[in-house]
Structure 1
Amino acid sequence: MKLRAAVSRLRFGSLRLRLVAVFAAVALTAAVSVSGIAYWLNRDAVLTRAQNAALNDFRASMTRNVGSLPVNPPCDELQEAANRMAASTQSYQVLLIAKDGGGNECAATSDRDVFTLDQVPAALQKAVNNPRPLKGGNEAAYHLYWQRTAPGGRPFLVGGAKMMGNGPTGYMYKSLDAERSDLNSLAWSLGIATALALIGAALLAQAAASTVLRPVQRLGDAARRLGEGRLDTRLRVSGTDELAELSRTFNSAAEALQRRVEELSGREEASRRFVADMSHELRTPLTAITAVTEVLEEEADALDPMIEPAVRLVVTETRRLGDLVENLMEVTRFDAGTAKLRADEVDVADMVTACIDTRAWLDAVELDAPRGIVVRLDPRRLDVILANLIGNALKHGGSPVRVTVRTEDGTAARGASVEAGGGRRAELVVEVADNGPGIPEDVLPHVFDRFYKADASRARSEGSGLGLSIAMENAHIHGGTITAANRPEGGAVFTLRLPIPPAEHHDSGDPCDHGEPNEPEEGRS
């Protein structure tokens, strides 16, 4: 029961986990998508704004500071112009390149340690110094070009332009660390927002899962109680959703099942009562018929030879009828739960020997039963079990039938009761093996069924099909069982296992109806 409850909780926990995982995955996907889009939009806006501001300022500064210089300015004037341009509020470095009056190239930089021509990409230099044809709406030969770079992992904006009329070439070099810092802060903010959204989604999923799974769990508990036989189990229905409809369906099914079970139970009880009443009523006329048949049997030798077979047939069938009535009475006791044990200390070897000797089977049975195995059980019921098993083996398996008695998982004390050893309960094991053809594999699962016969065409036989069933019931009432199997060397083997109660727990048992021991049921059933 506890294991099933744990498995049930694990199952619902797994479903809850899947719901939370789905909610979290959806929330994470949505949050990451929104955060990613927001980041890239803001990144583009920040970089474009910083880039445009710096480039516009650089263009205006080039026009203002370089445009007034001569075509071939002296290096010192070029350096002064670079320094003035670098003093802009946009905080970029400037590199101006031109040829002086002597034809020598002069490169003036605002900070030689930070910005030289080496920091300018070759592709950008080529684009800046290559004039464009004046056609197709293009009114200027030279234009302002820019490119973002990241030497050493640091972001920079590099721009360049050449003055018209073969004037100086100017480059700007602006650090984007501030923008990157702003974007990193934005990324952290979006990451925190995504994590909070994920946590919120998990909490929401937990609440939703509890709302959904609580009725499902109640339904599972109700189904389990219904399976345990509590047919009055019903669910409280509230709402109009699918779960409420499922609860109504469950209640309807449980109500129909309860009605059906009560109807079948009533029919079964009536059937058992009918069999018990019929068996009881048959005993009185059967007693009179038995007395008459006994007289006829004694006088059978003196009767007309033409009548003698009929008389012996009547005697045989009367005895069969008596056995059948007794078996039916025993079956009804088991079904009604009134069969009880009358336990006593018995030597199992003596019991088996007496069973075989009473039925004149000594010549056909090999017995391996050491004396001294004393067990507390019901002698009459053990005799019924042994008589059915041995008689069944002789009838369908053929002699010699070997009966073996032993104990397992305990020590058999000679002359005293047997107790379980090592903390484990001992078992009395009685094996009845024959040398016949064995039991067909399709018959093995049914040998202990009532009225079952292996040969369906043999509808009428000396057996009633109740013997092995009664033997099994007598084993069950002792807390034991009987199994049937085929031996590898041939033949069938029936194994009786009865628990041996510890001596300190011996009980005298309750009295019950104890008639004469049943004769062995000879049909393999």
Structure 2
Amino acid sequence: MRRAFWRSLQLRVVTSTMVVSMAVVAVLGVFLDQQINTSVLNARLRAATSEAQADRIAVLGFLSQPDGEAAKQSGDSGKSLQNGGDSPLSQATTALANRAGSASRYSVIICNRRLPGACFGTTNVDERSVTEKMRADVVKQDAGKNSLWYGDLYYKDSSEPVPGLVLGARLDTTGAPQVDSDYEIYHLIPLDKEEKTLNAVRQMLVVVGVALVLLLAAIASLVTRQVVTPVRLTRQAAERLAAGRLDERLKVRGEDDLARLAASFNEMAANLALKIHQLEELSQVQRQFVSDVSHELRTPLTTVRMAADLLYDAREDFDPMAARSAELMQNQLERFESMLADLLEISRYDAGAATLDIDSIDIRDVVLRAVADSEALAERHSTRFDLRLPGEPCMAEIDSRRVERILRNLLFNAIEHGEGRDIVVSVGADRDAVAVAVRDHGVGLKPGEENMVFDRFWRADPSRARTIGGTGLGLAISREDAMLHGGWLQAWGMPGEGSQFRLSLPRVAGTELRGSPLPLVPPEVEMRRTWRGQMTPVLTPAAADGGHDAE
């Protein structure tokens, strides 16, 4: 899922849109819920406060009149919470019950603080709805001032409490001095209907929010698709163009930026195809020229070679100058033949006509033959070979002629740049591969030259005179030979440390090479690197002061 997320621009845009939309919808939903909740409760509270004020005036009227008059006003139809007495308090609660109409609107409880248990209520409200804490808070308040609580309301015909609010106050008896000032009146307003309404509103907000998020995601997907689809088609066309399908083009629709992008891509593809076609023609002409020249030169070279051999064999009968000329001509003809052979080999690789003559051979024997062919040249350069061969056979399916040519090129190159120092030739093998490493201790390679050394006609130091000669194609042909085997030819070098070339080949022809049994970096160099990395310079005080006695 993580890979699909990072690979798809459309998925990232849609996901980001959904996350941002969910955050915005959640914030708006919470804000709207709070505003609606506050508005509903405030409206209910304002209505309850107004009714509570009117009820208090009515209660004071009942309490300040004689019992007979109060009974006439109440209609003798109410019942007290405690008993059915005809006291002014009971008559007042009966009248308030008639005003409220039903318990779903509001209920009233009137208490006398001086008389324990003297509480009268409308309808079937339970005294438990008014707690001792509420009564204590009312006592602390001034007469006529409201105290508000949110809590549970209890009714005698229901075992489950109902959420609601309680509005309590002491009766303000300043206008009726004959009334006891210890009366408390509590209005109990149930909020169950409001709660159901708010729950329905919340559910609607959730449904609308989810629908809005999905709608925004669909819109983002649709809008993004209009941009991503042309970009995706352009990417696919670029991949096919990179794969060699130079006739790949995009359809241009409209005149917007994406259409101009498609037109620019088509123009780029056309120019690229033209340039590649021109380069292919030029390369074909060059390859054909090299092949033709190489083949055409062999016939006159054969005639010249025959004449040169006759002169070389009869050089003892010539005067010293003519004899020396015969020897020089013989050497240069050998070099010329080597150059023609290299050019012909390169032309075969360019034409894809190179093939392998596979045989199961001990790689040690191939190394020994290559070293034997290089002994004479090594002696002329005062160079000695240090062979490090395993004691067991290292069999591999290879073309011995090509592998031997690779090793000769590596040995000649090591002799050329080894500055007369010993050349180490190592052979290694494991279950899947065999490897040969040729190590010299000469000038080495600069950083970045490890790959350039295999380019055709490339020389590390053009100002340095050749001592062996050659065409500059030896390492290029060697790399082609290694790749034809499915192997590797790699180079390592460092100024002042020399260089090492490693040839790695699979034991079984046609199998994939996954590793090499020999390291590319010489072990002694790697050991010095590790040792230097672990060492911490320590200076004595004398050394820190510039003295000469520090060790």
Q: Specify if TM > 0.5.
A: yes
Contact 2:447 2:494 in 1 (8 A): no
Q: In the TM superposition, what is the alpha-carbon distance from 1:304 to its structure 2 partner?
A: 4.6
Q: Distance in 2 between matches of 1:488 and 1:459?
A: 19
> Per-residue deviation at 1:77?
1.5
Does the Cα contact within 8 Å between 2:311 and 2:326 map onto a contact in 1? yes
Question: 1: CA distance between counterparts of 2:119 and 2:440?
Answer: 118
TM-score using structure 1 length: 0.73
- Displacement of 1:91 in angstroms is 2.3
Check 1:241–1:124 CA distance in 2 against 1; reply closer, same or farther (3 A cut): farther
Q: For residues 105 and 427 of structure 1, what CA distance do their matches in structure 2 show?
A: 105
The answer to whether the Cα contact below 8 Å between 1:86 and 1:93 also exists between their aligned partners in 2 is yes
Q: Give unmatched runs, 5+ long, in structure 2.
A: 71-85, 154-161, 512-551
| 1:376–1:500 contact (8 Å) kept in structure 2 | yes
| Shift, 1:117, TM fit | 7.9
Q: CA deviation at 1:370?
A: 6.3
Residue 327 in structure 1 maps to residue 342 in structure 2: yes
2:91 to 80, 99, 105: 80
- Structure-2 residue corresponding to 1:67: 61
* 2:506 is equivalent to residue 485 of structure 1: no
User: What is the deviation of 1:323?
Assistant: 1.9
Structure 1 residue 334 displacement after superposition: 0.9
1:498 aligns with 2:514: no
**Contact 2:425/2:436 (8 A) holds in 1:** yes
TM-score (norm 2): 0.70
Q: How many residues align?
A: 465
Trace 1:391-402 onto structure 2 (pairs within 5 A). Answer: 391-397=412-418, 398=420, 400-402=422-424
Classify the secondary structure of the residue corresponding to 1:162.
coil
Q: How does 1:250-289 map to 2 (within 5 A)?
A: 250-289=265-304
1:393-414 deviations in whole A, cap 9, x for unaligned? 33332465454445421xxxxx
Counterpart-to-counterpart distance in 2, 1:77 and 1:483: 114
1:147 aligns with 2:148: yes
| 64 and 497 in structure 1: CA distance in 2 versus 1, 3 angstrom threshold | closer
Q: Is the 8 A contact 1:159 1:173 kept in 2?
A: yes
Q: Distance in 1 between matches of 2:142 and 2:313?
A: 140
> Is the 1:400–1:435 Cα contact (8 Å) retained in structure 2?
yes
Residues 48 and 451 of structure 1, relative CA distance in 2, 3 Å threshold: same
Q: Is the 8 A contact 1:96 1:171 kept in 2?
A: yes
Aligned residue for 1:150, secondary structure, equals strand
* Structure 1 segment 340-355 matched on structure 2, within 5 A: 340-344=355-359, 346=361, 348-355=363-370
Report what 1:246 is aligned to: 261
How far has the Cα of 1:438 moved from its partner?
A: 4.5
| Superposition deviation, residue 301 in structure 1 | 4.8
Paired residues of 2:252 and 2:259 also in contact (CA < 8 A) = yes
2:248 and 2:189 map into 1 onto residues whose CA distance is 76
Matches of 1:115 and 1:473, distance apart in 2: 98
Equivalent residue, structure 1, for 2:7: 12
Once the two structures are superposed, residues 324-379 of structure 1 have per-residue CA deviations (whole angstroms, 9 ceiling, x without a partner) of: 22211211111121122233455545544444445654975455476965554334
Query: Which shows bigger deviation, 397-406 or 219-228?
Result: 397-406
Give the whole-Å Cα distance in 1 for the aligned partners of 2:366 and 2:63. Answer: 135
1:180 is displaced (CA, Å) by 2.7
Which residue of 384, 404, 407 maps to 1:386?
Answer: 407
1:156 aligns with 2:165: yes
1:20-169 mapped onto 2 (5 Å cutoff): 20-70=14-64, 76-87=87-98, 88-89=100-101, 90-95=105-110, 108-110=119-121, 113-114=127-128, 118=132, 120=134, 128-129=142-143, 145=146, 147-150=148-151, 154-160=163-169, 162-167=172-177, 168=179
Structural RMSD (CA): 4.1
Identical-pair percentage: 28
Is the CA contact 1:95–1:117 (under 8 Å) kept in the aligned structure 2?
no
Task: Give CA deviations for 1:303-331 in whole Å, capped at 9, x if unaligned.
Answer: 55456655544443343233222211211
Q: Distance in 2 between matches of 1:502 and 1:334?
A: 19
Q: 1:63 to 1:379 in 2, by over 3 A?
A: closer
Q: Which residue of 2 aligns with 1:3?
A: none
Closer/same/farther in 2, CA of residues 293 and 146 from structure 1, 3 Å limit: same
Structure 1: tracts of 5 or more residues without a match? 1-5, 130-142, 410-425, 505-525
The match for 1:171 is 185
- In structure 2, the CA distance between the partners of 1:250 and 1:106, relative to structure 1 (3 Å rule), is same
Match of 2:353 in 1: 338
